[in-house]
A and B are shown apart, each in its own frame.
Chain A
C-alpha cells in the first residue's frame, strides 16, 4: 500500500488541529510505507487549507468543490469522498475523528469495500511488506488490540490527540488539482435544519492549558459552580465525566473520555471523578494529572501524580483561598 489519502471536510476558518492530525497520521504512515500523501479537501474550505495541507507534508492536494458540498450533508459528502478515493486510487484513507468524519467512515468503507477501523492510536507502515500495523484500544482502554492490514483499501479514523502533528514546513510545494465529482442533489436524504454551539466552560477543552474537571461526586450544579470559580482563577476550563453530563449538570459537549473530548492540558485536576478507564482514555495526553476524591481507594489515584483525599465541599473552597493567597504573594 502506497497511496495514502487524508480526507479533510471543509469547516469555516483556517485548518484546525483536527485536520492537522489527519494529515500528520497520513504523512507518518506514508513515510513508513514509502508512499505518498494526497490531501482531499471536501467542500469550500478557505484557500489557506491548500498551503497548510502541503506544509503538513501532502505531496498532492485535491480540492473537491462541487456546488452541492456547500455545507456538510451526509450522503453527498460520502458520495464525493467515494468518487475521490476511486479517482485517486486511495489505498489507505484517513478520515477526521470529528462528528462528521466518524459518521462518514463506515458508510464510505461499505461503499468502497474497504476495511474500517476507528479510534486507532497508532498506524505504522512496513515498506518491505506494504502492511499496516494498527493499534486500537478496546474494553474502554483496559486492553490494546493489534491488527495487521495487508490489503487495500483501508479506512482509518485516528483517535483525537493520538497523533502529534508533524513539523509544519511553511512554503512546502505540492501538486494542486481540482477534482471533479458528479453529485446529484437527490442523493441527499437528510437536512440539517438547526445548528447550536454550546457555551464552553472556558477555552475549548481540546486547546485548554488547564482543565478542572468534575464527576458524579460533585452531586449537582452547585459543585460545578465551585469548579468554575477555581478554573477562572487558574485561567482554565471546566470539563466533566460522563456521569456528570448524564445528570444534566453540565452540557454534553463538556464530556471528556472515550466518547467525549480527548484533552492534553498541562494540568488536569479531577474532582469527584472515580477514574474509570473510559474516562482516563480522554486524558492520556495530560502532562500532569492531579486528583481530589474522598475515597482513597478511587482508581483515579493510580492515574494521578498527586492527590488529596478529602471532600470537595471543604477542599475546593480552601484551594480557592490558597490559590488567591499564592497569587497575592506573587503580586499577580
Chain B
C-alpha cells in the first residue's frame, strides 16, 4: 500500500486580523513576522494516512509539497511524523501557479511515484481556500474523487472512507487508486512528533523535483482559471462597537444580559 499526501505550506492562519496586512500591488498577504505552517486540513490528511498505515501494519507514505525552498520545513515536519519519503516540487520554476497548475504538477509527481493507492489532500488550503486541487488532481489522474473524508480503512480489496456530510456521516467504499480530500475531525487531530524522530527528520535529504524531473513545462500548466483576471485583494473594513455589559458579579452581569436579550426580542 502506497499513500501519497499533498501538503501546502501557508502563512499562519491564526494571525489575528489586527496584524494581518495585504500588499495590494502584489496581491498577496504580507508575511511580516508570522510563521509558516502546514495548512491545517493537510495536517488532518497526513494524520488520516498515518492512521491507515498504522491499522494496516504496513505501507509506505510519501509527502509531496509544491512550494518554495522554505517548504522543506513542512516536509521535515512530515518526516518527523514518520512518512517514508518527502519530496518538494520547486514552485520557483512555475510562476503564477493556480489550482489547475498545482493539480497538474502533483499529478506529474504522482505518476512518477506510481503505484499510489490513495492520494490525500486537505479539503481546502488555509490561505486561498480554493477547495479545488483534490478534485482537479483526481481529474488529471482520471481517478475517482471522494471529498471531506475524516477516516480511511481497508475493506477487503477496497477502502472504506468515512466522510462528513451536511447532516452527519456516510461511508463511501472505493477501490484504489483514488484521490481523497480530508476534513477535520476529532479522530484525525495531528499527532506530535517524538524527539528522536525530529532529529532523524533533520538529517534527511529532501529531493526537489522541477520541470526536468517531472517532464512538465511551466507553459503547459495554465488551466481555465488562468483566464480569470485577479483584479484586487483588499482587507474589508469592519467597525463595530461592543457594549460591555458590566456589573459587580456574575448575577448582575447576567441580569444585564437578560435585559439585552429582551431588548433584541429573543427573550
Contact = CB atoms under 8 A, between A and B. Distances in A.
B62 interface: no
B172 A288 contact: no
A323 B143 CA distance: 55
Nearest to B162: A194
26 contacts: A106-B132, A107-B138, A109-B135, A137-B129, A143-B235, A143-B236, A145-B232, A146-B230, A148-B229, A150-B227, A151-B227, A153-B224, A193-B160, A193-B173, A194-B171, A198-B167, A245-B184, A252-B185, A252-B186, A287-B264, A288-B266, A299-B18, A303-B238, A305-B241, A311-B250, A326-B258
A175 interface: no
A119 B125 CA distance: 12
A142 interface: yes
Interface in A138-156: 138-140, 142-151, 153
A110 B178 CA distance: 16
Contact of A192 (B15, B130, B170, B227): B170
Contacts of A110: 100, 135-136, 139-140
Contacts of A278: 13
A120 to B, nearest CB: 11
A102 interface: yes
Interface residues on B, range: 35 or more
B262 A326 contact: yes
Contacts of B185: 245-246, 252
Given A103-B148, A143-B236, A259-B124, A266 B265 contact: yes
B128 A138 contact: yes
Nearest to B135: A106
Nearest to B253: A308
A102 B250 contact: no
B242 interface: yes
Given A110-B135, A144-B233, A234-B266, A117 B228 contact: yes
Contacts of B129: 118-119, 136-138, 140, 258
Interface of A: 74-75, 98-99, 102-103, 105-107, 109-111, 113-119, 133-134, 136-140, 142-151, 153, 189-198, 209-210, 234, 242, 245-248, 251-253, 258-259, 266-267, 276-278, 287-288, 290-291, 296, 299, 301-311, 314-315, 317-319, 321-323, 325-327
Contact of A109 (B132, B143, B168, B186): B132
A113 B261 contact: no
A142 B235 contact: yes
Given A210-B266, A322-B251, A198 B256 contact: no
A142 B186 contact: no
A314 B251 CA distance: 9
Given A118-B131, A267-B266, A147 B228 contact: yes
A109 B224 contact: yes
B128 to A, nearest CB: 5
Nearest to A133: B231
Given A116-B132, A189-B178, 5 more contacts: A198-B168, A246-B189, A253-B167, A299-B18, A308-B245
Contacts of A277: 17
Contacts of B17: 142, 277, 299, 302
Contact of B228 (A103, A149, A259, A317): A149
Contacts of B105: none
A142 B236 CA distance: 7
Contacts of B99: 106, 116
B174 A259 contact: no
B196 interface: no
Interface in B153-179: 160, 163-175, 178
Given A106-B135, A194-B170, A74 B146 contact: yes
Contacts of A144: 233-236
A295 to B, nearest CB: 13
A158 B174 CA distance: 29
Interface string B5-26: 0000001011111101010000
B183 A259 contact: yes
A109 B131 CA distance: 12
Q: Which 8 A-B pairs have the closest CB atoms?
A: A106-B135, A248-B186, A110-B139, A198-B168, A189-B144, A318-B254, A190-B174, A322-B258
A328 B164 CA distance: 42
Contact of A276 (B14, B41, B236, B264): B14
Given A144-B233, A190-B144, A190-B146, A115 B266 contact: no
Interface string B212-249: 00000000000111011111111110101111110000
Kindly name the residue among A195, A304, A322, A325 whose own CB sees the greatest number of chain B CB atoms within 10 A. A322
B114 interface: no
Contacts of B236: 137, 143-144
Contact of A322 (B18, B140, B164, B254): B254
A110 B132 CA distance: 10
A310 B164 contact: no
Nearest to A255: B184
Nearest to B146: A190
A17 B123 CA distance: 24
A139 B29 contact: yes
B29 A143 contact: yes
Contacts of B262: 326
